[in-house]
């Protein structure tokens, strides 16, 4: 299963890590590569400062559009939404079985973005989201090709 999407330096997408919001009206998001893990920021989530100062690379998912917050209230809502995306991922990582974690993240992403989009996400990105090896994601992709 070829993965054509590759992470890009965060500064190419978010200059100076400025605070932005993933457009809440689109099926889009960012996988943010941190030092030892990755985080997903989905629709409505804040990205950039202050969350992602330790982020070097990002992987756009779906039809990505980043917008500037219109007000302090919009920024606060975006921070809360970012926290919700982090908590959703944490629920998946609480499962002690690596195969089940990999299957669950694939199912979640396929349910939201569709199988074609998820097929383009590198195994490493999904693995970093839920704390498994990329090989584990690859195994799940081949054993359960239509898991959603």
- Rg over alpha carbons for the chain, rounded to the nearest Å, is 15
- Domain locations in the chain as residue ranges: 7-88, 95-148
Alpha-carbon torsion angle 97, 106, 60, 127, nearest 10: 20
| 7-57: pLDDT as tens digits | 999 999 998 889 999 999 999 999 999 999 999 999 999 999 988 999 999
pLDDT tens-digit readout, 55-82: 999 999 999 999 999 999 999 999 999 9
Instruction: Indicate the pairing of strand 20-22 with strand 28-33.
Output: unpaired
Confidence of residue 148 (pLDDT cuts 50, 70, 90): very low
Q: How many angstroms separate the CA atoms of 103 and 134, rounded?
A: 12
Backbone torsion region of residue 27, taken as left when φ is above 0, otherwise alpha when ψ lies between -120 and 50, otherwise beta: beta
Q: Contact 128/33 with Cβ under 8 angstroms?
A: yes
């Amino acid at each position: 299963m070829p993965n054509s999407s590759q992470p890009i330096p965060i500064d190419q997408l978010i200059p100076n890590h400025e605070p932005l919001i993933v457009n809440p009206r689109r099926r889009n998001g960012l996988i943010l590569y941190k030092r030892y893990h990755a985080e997903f920021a989905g629709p409505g989530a804040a990205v950039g400062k202050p969350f992602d100062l330790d982020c070097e690379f990002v992987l756009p998912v779906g039809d990505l559009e980043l917008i500037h917050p219109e007000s302090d209230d919009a920024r606060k809502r975006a921070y809360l939404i970012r926290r919700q995306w982090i908590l959703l991922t944490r629920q998946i990582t609480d499962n002690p079985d690596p195969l089940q974690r990999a299957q669950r993240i694939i199912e979640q992403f396929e349910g939201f973005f569709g199988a074609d989009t998820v097929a383009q996400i590198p195994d490493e990105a999904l693995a970093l989201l839920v704390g498994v090896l990329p090989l584990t994601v690859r195994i799940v992709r081949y054993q359960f090709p239509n898991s959603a």
